[in-house]
Amino acid sequence: MGLSNASGDLSTEVEVDAFRCLFPLRFYEKHLLESIRPDARPLGRARETTIALGAVASANGSALAKIGSTTMLAAIKMEVMTPSLETPDEGCIAIDFHMPPICSPIVRPGRPAEAAPVVAKQLSDTILSSGMINLKELSLVSGKAAWMAYLDIYCLDADGALFDTALLSAVAAFSHLEIPVVSLNDDGKIVLSEEQGLSDREPVNKEKRKINLSSIPFSLTCVLHKNYILADPTAEEESIMDTIVTVVLDSSSQLVSLHKPGGTVLAYTSAIQDCIALTRQRVKELQKILEEAISGMEVD
């Protein structure tokens, strides 16, 4: 009798998997009628989220962020540069987003992922327009030396909500960032003290320091399908329901940006308002997770 039940359960499971593969939209719509998703999440709930600071020892700031299975590694390397004539009192931030073939079966070796430049542009626009970092803080000597912050984000697992996870890893990496000590070398140039062996020279900046962050941006991506809104979609959900809305709010719940790259569902005012309301709740969750990660780092 036990064997018969086991065979029946296995047969049912195979049938469900086959139905999901053959008719993915109908499979999801059956769940949506019950206001639940195949992974047992309510429609408005994001996946489990974690942040680990200091993931890359050789970087000046780094973080590993995970939302569900989606995993991003962010690392910041600081270098001294000559500021431009237009902004002599400001440093710069250069952002690059990488999607190696290991992150997803749809990314092929030797071919750049289509999503990579889109996410990189979104990240750059969001971080610079939010005012999270005052670029004047990156100045060393007006018109002569300033910091260039190279932020590289590597997607290790792409299972939906790429921008949300990438932005979270970037914010966490900047929270972990320490500005290195620099000194004047024999040629009168400002260089990193540790790299040039100038620890005995009078430093230009006295000690390593954290950078002040304000108006920190957080985001939530939602997919729209008929009258349903699904927060924090998986890659499967994004591929089946093609209307995506990404809302970015800062830590004061002020709107930074709203991104809707096409899609078949019209984003009515009520739907946008619902997405913003879900994002406000998500911002509180992400702020708490980030604060706990920073507190844990300080204790260590």
15 part of a folded domain: no
Q: Is residue 70 part of a domain?
A: yes
The residue whose two tokens read 């489990």 is: 48
- Core vs surface per residue 12-37: b (16+ CB within 10 A) or e: eeeeeeeeeeeebeebbeeebeeeeb
Q: pLDDT tens per residue, the chain (300 residues)? A: 444 444 445 457 667 777 777 777 788 888 888 888 988 899 999 999 999 999 999 999 999 999 999 999 999 999 988 999 999 999 999 999 999 999 998 888 888 788 999 999 999 999 999 999 999 999 888 888 899 999 999 999 999 999 999 999 999 999 999 988 877 665 556 666 555 454 555 555 656 778 899 999 999 999 998 889 999 999 999 988 878 999 999 999 999 999 988 776 677 888 899 999 999 999 999 999 999 999 987 655
Closest CA to 24 of 238, 231, 234, 240: 240
Give a yes or no: residue 27 inside a domain: no
Residue 187 domain-assigned (yes or no): yes
Number of domains in the chain: 1
Q: Measured between alpha carbons, how far is 163 from 244 in angstroms, rounded to an integer? A: 12
Q: How many helices (H) and strands (E) does the chain have?
A: 7, 14
Note whether residue 215 is domain-resident. yes
Is the residue at 110 inside a domain?
yes
Residue 285 lies in a domain: yes
Residue span of the structural domain in which 133 resides? 40-296
Residue 113: what residue type?
A: A
CATH number of the domain where residue 209 is located: 3.30.230.70
Asked whether residue 26 is domain-assigned, the answer is no
pTM over 0.85: yes
Residues 6+ apart with CB under 8 A from 88: 142, 143
